[in-house]
Amino acid sequence: MTSSTAVDHVANSDASAGDTSAEVAARPSPRTGNAVAALLALLVISIVVVIGLGPVVIPPDETARYLWAALTGGRIDADEVTTYQIIWQIRTPRVLLAAIVGAGLSAVGVAIQSLVRNALADPYVLGVSSGASVGAVAVTVAGGLSALGIYAISAGAFLGAMAAAALVYLVAYSRAGVTPLRLVLTGVVMSFGFQALMAVIIYFTPDSEATATMLFWSMGSFGAATWGGLPVVAAVVLVGVVVLHWHGRTLDVLTFGDEASTSLGVDTIGVRRRLFVITSLVTGAMVAVSGAVAFVGLVVPHVVRIVVGASHHRVLVVAPLASAVFMVWVDLISRTLVAPRELPLGVITALVGVPVFLALMRRRGYLFGGR
Amino acid sequence: MDLRLDDVTVAVDDNVIVRDLSLDVPHGQVVGLIGPNGSGKSTALRCIYRALRPSRGAVWIGPDDLSTLPLRRSARSVAALTQDGGTDLDFTVAETVALGRAPHLRGNQPLSDRERDLCRRAMAQLDVLHLAGRGMLTLSGGERQRVFVARALVQEPQVLVLDEPTNHLDVRHQIELLSLLRGSELTVLVVLHDLNLAAAACDRLAVLSQGRLVATGTPADVLTADLVRTVFGVAVSVVTHPLTGDPQLLYSLDSAPSSEGITT
């Protein structure tokens, strides 16, 4: 458009614009690096502090000493065994589960919103959670999977989730692959179907255990956390987040539409299928142990984008960490505010998250999908 | 690198949109694809950036049949300005332009210094460097269009196809964009609606009507009053540009014939 000398002149004279572009076009800026370090530190501190809080309050330094002893096989006194049990057997797995599920939900939320190009999408929009509820309730009512012992219900929930995801994918599939809108519509519609199915099962088996199971799965809770169940979900979430992050640039490209994506060398049909499998597996693993915790996977992605921008390379690092910290504290409120009863997690995530989101959206003029 | 469409036919559900289209774009030339709405121009371009697969025939890039190349490979040779491209997320202009490197990079591999320099130069060429830190959702249509052209240049393609690149652009940026294409080494196939701009910017023109190629040649050969009347259903006077010698069309609002040829 301009001659080459003029181009050089523009590039050199406009130093400020040049710096901006150099910063945002490339590697994570130092600012993002600092934010990640700060969030990591905050996460570790939060975990230690929150493990110490509850009906029995233990100061953070004591908690740290117990945790250190547990991890390194150190010695504790005989009269400390009860406290140690509370910390290590009951609270630690629960707090860690909260952190893991928090991280996973927001990472999956970020990916799904770009995958289906919809601001209202969350990890459950593709029917995974309602499928999990059906699976869990079916196992509670009909038995089965008893070989798996205490993990039978979780296994049922996971199988239900996977079956639902597969069904949604197959129904949404057309010759042109799965288009975003078809996928969302199919997921939403079939969720209603799964919920109806669950209601029918519960209606015909007036069994309080089935009702409790359904409530647990539709509200979400970390109350069932055990050391036994933790490694599987931790591994799935960790691998899932790393793989999604590796797809960061591809997710960036996908949001520009299928034609532009193709012209940039992204095989939209194949990528969507791959991401659908990954997000379904991660969501299914989380739902199987904690039920469907609402709101986090929908709103944390937006909040994080408001703060760090849209680039998935950054969002998929910051969102999981921020969301892990958030979930750890939300779970603390859930189990202490009206103890010994527990508030549903979704209630607290919404009560805290809604004002934060609205305030940020108004202040930053957040844009999603145009002005 | 030459671009060659060889007997390309595109049919969707028995509905033939492009029929037996053969077209050569020799290395370094700018060829304009013109024709009324619905004549198959965008469909032809889609086959080149592979959003569509021809039902019959093939698209050749140099020695390669496109359909034999992996998508990432062909995106390194062919860049496109598509008609979609809106995003819901507020990427900055610099981030958007940098995505042009996607076919060259694996996973989250960061941009090299050379690539960042490339992005900066493309933004300067398209006059969007001053917008580098701005969000895409805050731009006007014309600014966004220029950002997408910059992204296509950053792909470092040999072949560039553009679907109505002058859409939304003001007259200065229209002329700047087309002279940029002319001055580049790229092999360019561009869909244009402004026939006068097409005559000025293109080495050759190809005219599509109802999915068929009806004329091809230099602007002076193609843009006759006769052809414009039969293909577009508009009566024009053709004059010669006093400075460049290009044919230019003069329209008059009263001269629209009552023919059924207008498909707008």
> Does B116 contact A259 at a Cβ distance shorter than 8 Å?
no
- Which of A26, A249, A313 shows the shortest C-beta gap to B102? A249
β-strand pairing of B187-191 with B30-34 = parallel
Residues in chain B, total: 264
Cβ–Cβ contact B119 with A under 8 A = yes
Alpha-carbon distances of B237 from A114, A345, B200, rounded to whole Å: 50, 74, 16
Contacts of B47 (CB under 8 A, 6+ apart): B5, B8, B10, B18, B53, B54, B59
The mean predicted confidence, pLDDT, of chain A is 84
Query: Tell me, what's the pLDDT at A26?
Result: 42
Q: What average pLDDT score do residues A300-315 get?
A: 91
Q: Report strand pairing: B247-251 vs B236-240.
A: antiparallel
Inter-chain CB proximity B108 and A263 less than 8 Å: no
Better pLDDT: B156 or B261: B156
> How many CB atoms lie under 10 A from the CB of residue B69?
16
pLDDT at residue A201, as a whole number? 83
- Between A119 and B240, the higher pLDDT residue: B240
Question: Cβ contact (<8 Å) for A11 and B49?
Answer: no
Question: B-chain residues within 8 Å CB-CB of A21?
Answer: 93-94, 97, 116, 119-120, 123, 129, 132-133
Which residues span the domain enclosing A299? 92-364
d(CA A237, CA A223): 19
Confidence class for position B88, pLDDT limits 50, 70, 90: confident
Band of pLDDT at residue B73, cut at 50, 70 and 90: very high
pLDDT of residue A11: 38
Distance, in Å, from the CA atom of A66 to the CA atom of A47, rounded to the nearest integer, reads 13
Cα–Cα distance, A32 to A55 (Å, whole number): 38
The H-or-E segment that residue A168 falls in is helix A152-172
Q: Is B263 on the interface with A (CB under 8 A)?
A: no
Classified as helix, coil or strand, B64 is strand
When divided into structural domains, chain A yields a total of 1
Q: Are the beta carbons of B90 and A24 separated by less than 8 Å?
A: no
Return the CATH fold of B3-255: Rossmann fold (3.40.50)
SS3 A352: helix
Model confidence at A18, pLDDT cuts 50, 70, 90, reads very low
In whole numbers, what is the pLDDT of chain B averaged over residues? 91
Contact A18 B49 (CB under 8 A): no
CA A340, A345, A347, A348 torsion-angle sign: positive
Domain assignment present for A51? no
Does residue A69 lie within any of the structural domains? no
B138/A367 Cβ within 8 A: yes
pLDDT band at residue A365, thresholds of 50, 70 and 90? low
- C-beta atoms of A264 and B102 within 8 A: yes
* pLDDT tens sequence across A28-53: 466 778 889 999 999 999 999 999 99
pLDDT-derived band at A146, boundaries 50, 70, 90? low
Name chain A contacts of B148, Cβ cutoff 8 Å: 260
- For residue B150, pLDDT beyond 70: yes
Give yes or no for a contact between A87 and A51, defined as CB atoms under 8 angstroms apart. yes
SS3 content of chain B, % helix, strand, coil (to 5): 35, 25, 35
**Interface A:B, Cβ pairs < 8 A:** 176
Position A267 confidence tier, pLDDT thresholds 50, 70, 90: very high
pTM: 0.87
Question: What confidence score (pLDDT) does residue A145 get?
Answer: 66
Q: Per-residue pLDDT averaged across A158-165, rounded?
A: 92
SS3 for A179?
coil
Contacts 24+ apart (CB under 8 A), B173-176: B173/A1, B173/B127, B173/B142, B173/B146, B176/A1, B176/A2, B176/B127
Taking only the tens place, the pLDDT of each residue in A188-198 is 999 999 888 88
Amino acid identity of residue A134, one-letter, is V
Domain boundaries, given as residue ranges, for chain B: 3-255
For residue A165, the model assigns a pLDDT of 92
Provide the chain B residues 4-43 that lie in CB contact (below 8 A) with chain A.
none
Q: Does B127 touch chain A (CB under 8 A)?
A: yes
Contact A26 B82 (CB under 8 A): no
Place of tokens 């694809």: B33
CA angle B124, B129, B132 (to 5 degrees): 145
pLDDT digits (tens, 9 = 90+) for B7-34: 999 998 888 999 999 999 999 999 999 9
Quote the pLDDT of residue A9. Answer: 37
Strands B56-61 vs B64-65: parallel, antiparallel or unpaired: antiparallel
- Place A21 in a pLDDT band, splitting at 50, 70 and 90: very low
Q: In sequence order, what E strands does chain B have? A: 3-12, 15-25, 30-34, 56-61, 64-65, 78-81, 159-163, 187-191, 204-209, 212-217, 236-240, 247-251
pLDDT at position A4 over 60: no
What is the reported pLDDT for A366? 63
In a domain, residue A53? The reply is no
Using 50, 70 and 90 to split pLDDT, how confident is the model at A240?
A: very high
Q: What is the pLDDT of residue A354?
A: 83
* pLDDT for the residue numbered B87: 81
| A 306-325 residues inside an 8 A Cβ radius of B | 309-311, 313
Distance from CA of B233 to the nearest CA of A (A): 31
Q: What percentage of chain B reaches a pLDDT higher than 90?
A: 80
What's the pLDDT at A78? Answer: 81
pLDDT at A81 over 50: yes
Instruction: Say yes or no for a CB contact (<8 Å) between A119 and B88.
Output: yes
Q: Which residue of chain B has the CA closest to A301?
A: B89
Confidence of residue A148 (pLDDT cuts 50, 70, 90): low
- Chain A CB within 8 Å of residue B258 CB: no
**ipTM value:** 0.90
What is the rounded distance in angstroms from the CA atom of residue B109 to the CA atom of residue A341?
49
Average pLDDT estimate for B166-178 = 91
Note which residues in 347-366 of chain A have CB less than 8 A from chain B.
366
Rounded mean pLDDT, A232-245: 96
pLDDT bin (cut points 50, 70, 90) of residue A117 is confident
Alpha-carbon distances of B160 from A5, A310, B62, B63, B216, rounded to whole Å:
24, 28, 13, 17, 19
User: Distance (Å, rounded) from C-alpha A343 to C-alpha A221?
Assistant: 9
In this prediction, residue A226 carries a pLDDT of 87
- Among the residue ranges A151-155, A183-187, A331-335, the one predicted with the least confidence is A151-155
Q: What is the CATH number of the domain that holds A252?
A: 1.10.3470.10
* CA distance between the termini of chain B: 35
Computed on alpha carbons and rounded to an integer, the radius of gyration of chain A in Å comes to 23
Tokens of A217: 């799965």
pLDDT value at residue A111: 96
